[in-house]
Structure 1
Amino acid sequence: MGLANVRSVTFSDHAQDAHASTASTAPTAPRAPSPAGSPFADLADYVALPRVESLTRSVDGSRVVLTVATLDADRTGYERALWEVDAAGGGTPRRLTRSTAGESGAAFTAAGTLLFTSSRAGGGGPERDGKPVTQLWAIDPAGGEARPVTALAGGVGAIAATARAAETVVLAADLLPSATTFEEDARLREERAKRKVAAILHEHYPVRFWDHDLGPDEPHLLALDLAALAPETVTPAAPAADGSTQDAGDAPAPYPAHLPRPADLTPHPGRSADTGGAALTPDGRTLLAALRRRQGRGDRFALVAIDVATGGHTTLVDELSTYIEGPVVSNDGAWVAYVRASFSTPAGPADQHLWISRTDGSEARELAVGWDRWPTEIAFAPDDRSLVVVADDDGRGRIFRVPLDDGPVTALTTDDHAYTQAHVGPDGSVVALRSSWQVAPHPVRVEVDGTVTELATPAPPPAPVGTMTDVETVAEDGSRVRGWLLTPPGASADAPAPLLLWIHGGPLNSWNAWSWRWCAQLLVARGYAVLLPDPALSTGYGLEFIARGWNAWGGAPYTDLMDITDAVVARPEIDEGRTAAMGGSFGGYMANWVAGHTDRFRAIVTHASLWALDQFRGTTDGAYYWDEIFDEAGLVANSPHQFVDRISTPLLVIHGDRDYRVPIGEGNRLWAELAQHHADEHGVMPHRYLYFPDENHWVLKPQHATVWYETVIAFLAQHVLGEGWERPAHLG
Structure 2
Amino acid sequence: MLVSPDGDLTDLTPDVGTVTLYAASADLSPDGATAATSWTQRARGGETRSSIALIDTTTLRRTALLTADDDSQYGAPLFSRDGSHLAVIRSTASSPQDTSYSRLEIHPIGGGEPVTAQLGDLSIGDLAWAEDGTLLVAGDLHSSGAVLAIDPATGAARTIAADGVFSALAPAADGTLFALRNDVGTPSRPVRITADAPARELAAPGAVDALPGTLEWVGTDVDGVRVGGWLCVPASASAAQPAPVMLWIHGGPHGSYNAWSWRWCPWLAVERGYAVLMPDPAMSTGYGDAGLNRGWPRLPDVVFHECETLFDAVLLRPELDATRTAMLGASFGGFMANWIAGHTDRFDAIVTHAGLWALDQQHRTTDAAASKMRVHRHEEELPDWYRAYSPHHASGSITTPMLVTHGNRDYRVPVSEALRLWWDLVSTWDGEPETMPHRFLQLTSENHWVLTPSNALAWNQAVLAFCDQHVLGAEPIPEVLPW
TM over 0.5: yes
Identify the match of residue 433 of structure 1 among 180, 189, 205: 180
In the alignment, is residue 329 of structure 1 matched against residue 79 of structure 2?
Answer: yes
Q: CA RMSD in A?
A: 1.8
Aligned to 1:346: 96
- SS of 1:564's equivalent in the other structure is helix
Aligned to 2:138: 390
Give 1:442 deviation, angstroms: 1.3
Percent identity between the two aligned chains: 40
- Quickly say closer, same or farther: Cα 1:295–1:450, change in 2 above 3 A: farther
Give 1:700 deviation, angstroms: 1.2
**Alpha-carbon separation, structure 1, partners of 2:256 and 2:298:** 18
**Alpha-carbon separation, structure 2, partners of 1:404 and 1:459:** 36
Aligned to 2:4: 225
**Alpha-carbon separation, structure 1, partners of 2:330 and 2:312:** 22
Aligned to 2:58: 309
Q: How does 1:617-656 map to 2 (within 5 A)?
A: 617-631=363-377, 632=379, 633=382, 634-656=385-407
Identify the match of residue 615 of structure 1 among 353, 361, 366: 361
Unaligned stretches of 5+ residues in structure 1: 1-221, 230-259
Give 1:265 deviation, angstroms: 2.8
Aligned to 1:70: none
Aligned to 1:515: 261
Amino acid in the other structure paired with 1:442: R
Identify the match of residue 705 of structure 1 among 456, 464, 469: 456
Q: How does 1:544-563 map to 2 (within 5 A)?
A: 544-563=290-309
Question: Which segment is superposed worse, 266-275 or 497-506?
Answer: 266-275
User: Normalized against structure 1, the TM-score is what?
Assistant: 0.63
Amino acid in the other structure paired with 2:279: P
- Quickly say closer, same or farther: Cα 1:498–1:709, change in 2 above 3 A: same
**Alpha-carbon separation, structure 2, partners of 1:225 and 1:414:** 38
Aligned to 1:284: 32
- Quickly say closer, same or farther: Cα 1:266–1:566, change in 2 above 3 A: farther
**Alpha-carbon separation, structure 2, partners of 1:303 and 1:720:** 53
- SS of 1:642's equivalent in the other structure is helix
Give 1:269 deviation, angstroms: 2.9
Q: How does 1:134-533 map to 2 (within 5 A)?
A: 222-226=1-5, 228-229=6-7, 260-296=8-44, 297-321=46-70, 322-360=72-110, 362-369=111-118, 371-384=120-133, 386-406=134-154, 408-415=156-163, 417-449=164-196, 451-476=198-223, 478-533=224-279
Give 1:684 deviation, angstroms: 4.0
**Alpha-carbon separation, structure 1, partners of 2:232 and 2:190:** 23
- Quickly say closer, same or farther: Cα 1:272–1:472, change in 2 above 3 A: same
- SS of 1:517's equivalent in the other structure is coil
- SS of 2:428's equivalent in the other structure is helix
Question: Which segment is superposed worse, 343-352 or 397-406?
Answer: 397-406
Count of residue pairs brought into register by the alignment: 476
- SS of 1:627's equivalent in the other structure is helix
**Alpha-carbon separation, structure 2, partners of 1:490 and 1:724:** 22
Give 1:636 deviation, angstroms: 3.6
In the alignment, is residue 678 of structure 1 matched against residue 424 of structure 2?
Answer: no
Aligned to 1:89: none
Aligned to 2:285: 539
**Alpha-carbon separation, structure 2, partners of 1:471 and 1:637:** 30
**Alpha-carbon separation, structure 1, partners of 2:113 and 2:19:** 27
Q: Determine if contact 1:711/1:728 at 8 Å carries over to the other structure.
A: no
Amino acid in the other structure paired with 2:4: D
- Quickly say closer, same or farther: Cα 1:261–1:548, change in 2 above 3 A: closer
Unaligned stretches of 5+ residues in structure 2: none
Aligned to 1:28: none
Q: Determine if contact 2:118/2:155 at 8 Å carries over to the other structure.
A: no
Amino acid in the other structure paired with 1:302: S
**Alpha-carbon separation, structure 2, partners of 1:667 and 1:609:** 7
- SS of 2:431's equivalent in the other structure is coil
Give 1:327 deviation, angstroms: 1.2
Task: Pick the structure with greater CA Rg.
Answer: 1
Amino acid in the other structure paired with 2:471: V
Aligned to 1:580: 326
Give 1:683 deviation, angstroms: 6.6
**Alpha-carbon separation, structure 2, partners of 1:503 and 1:462:** 26
Q: Determine if contact 1:439/1:462 at 8 Å carries over to the other structure.
A: no
Q: Determine if contact 1:446/1:453 at 8 Å carries over to the other structure.
A: yes
Q: Determine if contact 1:508/1:537 at 8 Å carries over to the other structure.
A: yes
Amino acid in the other structure paired with 2:148: F
Q: Determine if contact 1:434/1:444 at 8 Å carries over to the other structure.
A: yes
Q: Determine if contact 1:440/1:462 at 8 Å carries over to the other structure.
A: no
Give 1:381 deviation, angstroms: 2.1
Give 1:679 deviation, angstroms: 4.2
Q: Determine if contact 1:550/1:629 at 8 Å carries over to the other structure.
A: no
Amino acid in the other structure paired with 2:80: S
Amino acid in the other structure paired with 2:16: H
- Quickly say closer, same or farther: Cα 1:682–1:707, change in 2 above 3 A: closer
Show CA shifts across 1:315-344 (max 9, x none). 000131322111111111111111112101
**Alpha-carbon separation, structure 1, partners of 2:340 and 2:118:** 38
Amino acid in the other structure paired with 2:286: G
User: Hey, which bits of structure 1, 4+ residues long, moved more than 3 A?
Assistant: 681-684, 728-732
Q: Determine if contact 2:245/2:326 at 8 Å carries over to the other structure.
A: yes
Give 1:713 deviation, angstroms: 1.1
In the alignment, is residue 597 of structure 1 matched against residue 376 of structure 2?
Answer: no
Give 1:406 deviation, angstroms: 2.7
Q: Determine if contact 1:304/1:317 at 8 Å carries over to the other structure.
A: yes
**Alpha-carbon separation, structure 1, partners of 2:156 and 2:67:** 29
Amino acid in the other structure paired with 1:675: V
